[in-house]
């Protein structure tokens, strides 16, 4: 028993390589059928619609469909705003996750439930709620407008806000779970070495839960990239400013389904490239 100090027993961080190898050999040693069949069915269920998209894609007219500047504008805007929304989620969401996991305060369970609310809220309702809060006439937006002349709806900032609103819960939940699994005594150990609670957090806890944060960030990014309802409701739809790919896809669907499929393919290809680039190990902890 020389490995008691290894955090793998309780905490999130793990070494990717040996773990994966172990799983691999375990998989070949006979997988129970009640797990294998539904598992494969689930995979098929998730992949079939995407395959159908590929089969029915208008490959011939694809170059024409994708040559318009609006498509690339929308794609660029999507990537920029999803990344910005993820950054906002990280900067605000990780501290929130820490508060939920590491501090005691009355009504914490209730607060945690509130945090997950955007997950169950229909995004369009989320967009309306954002308008009521941050719109020109909103509870807070009114003052933003009056004092600073800032209006958020119909701006790219508005897109980022709408995406962060729906994406942040994914990050918070993922990071909070990792934090709960991580041994809080590492923070205590850092404290006894003279580290303030914040130093302990960013020099010890943060590196320890990095994989969980990365997984949460990937989830949040993916959610932000595909966000439609809250975006179009809060930020509207204007090419180059607030028209992200999902909005372009939706509107193309109105009169030119082929164009919609082409746009979706672009979005899919980019997401797959990014997610695969981040490696599956980032996605293992959540």
Residue in 118, 153, 169, 226 binding another protein, rule: CB under 8 A? 153
The maximal CA–CA distance of the chain, rounded, in angstroms, is 67
**Min separation Cβ 66 and another protein, Å:** 18
Of 264, 70, 236, the closest CA to residue 156 belongs to: 236
Tokens of 175: 């990071």
DSSP 7: G
DSSP letters of 152-183?
-TTSHHHHHHHHHHHHHHHHHHHHHHHHHHS-
**Min separation Cβ 266 and another protein, Å:** 18
Rg over alpha carbons for the chain, rounded to the nearest Å, is 22
**Min separation Cβ 210 and another protein, Å:** 8
Q: Is 116 or 196 the residue whose CB approaches another protein more closely?
A: 196
Check if the beta carbon of residue 68 is closer than 8 Å to that of residue 61.
Answer: no
The region of 4-12, 73-81, 100-108, 111-119 touching another protein under the rule CB under 8 A is 4-12
77 is a contact residue toward another protein (CB under 8 A)? no
* Window 95 to 134, contacts with another protein (CB under 8 A): 128, 131-132
* Window 183 to 222, contacts with another protein (CB under 8 A): 183, 185-186, 188-197, 199, 203-204, 207-208
* Window 226 to 245, contacts with another protein (CB under 8 A): 232-233, 235-239, 242-243
3 is a contact residue toward another protein (CB under 8 A)? yes
Burial 145-163 (b: 16+ CB within 10 A, else e): beeeeebbbbbbbbbbbbb
Q: Which residue is listed with tokens 């028993």? A: 1
Q: Which residue is listed with tokens 């806000």? A: 161
Binding site for another protein (CB under 8 A): 1-7, 11, 13, 128, 131-132, 135-137, 153-154, 183, 185-186, 188-197, 199, 203-204, 207-208, 232-233, 235-239, 242-243, 247, 250-256
């Amino acid at each position: 028993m020389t490995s008691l100090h290894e955090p793998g027993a309780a905490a999130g961080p793990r070494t990717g390589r040996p773990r994966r190898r172990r799983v691999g050999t375990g998989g070949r040693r006979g997988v129970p059928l009640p797990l294998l069949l539904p598992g494969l069915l689930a995979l098929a269920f998730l992949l079939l619609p995407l395959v159908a998209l590929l089969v029915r894609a208008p490959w011939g007219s694809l170059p024409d469909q994708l040559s318009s500047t609006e498509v690339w504008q929308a794609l660029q805007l999507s990537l920029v705003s999803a990344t910005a929304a993820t950054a906002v989620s990280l900067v605000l969401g990780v501290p929130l996750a820490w508060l939920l996991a590491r501090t005691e305060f009355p009504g914490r369970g209730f607060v945690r439930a509130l945090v997950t609310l955007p997950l169950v809220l229909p995004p369009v309702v989320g967009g309306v709620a954002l308008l009521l809060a941050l719109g020109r006439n909103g509870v807070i937006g009114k003052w933003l407008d009056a004092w600073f002349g800032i209006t958020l709806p119909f701006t790219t900032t508005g897109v980022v806000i709408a995406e962060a609103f729906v994406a942040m819960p994914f990050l918070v939940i993922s990071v909070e779970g990792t934090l709960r699994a991580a041994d809080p005594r590492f923070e205590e150990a850092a404290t006894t070495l003279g580290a303030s609670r914040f130093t302990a957090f960013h020099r010890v806890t943060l590196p320890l839960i990095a994989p969980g944060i990365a997984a949460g960030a990937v989830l949040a990014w993916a959610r932000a990239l595909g966000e439609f309802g809250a975006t179009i409701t809060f930020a509207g739809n204007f090419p180059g400013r607030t028209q992200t790919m999902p909005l372009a896809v939706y509107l193309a669907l109105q009169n030119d389904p082929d164009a919609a499929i082409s746009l979706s393919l672009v979005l899919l290809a980019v997401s797959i490239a990014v997610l695969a680039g981040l490696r599956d190990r980032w996605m293992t902890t959540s």
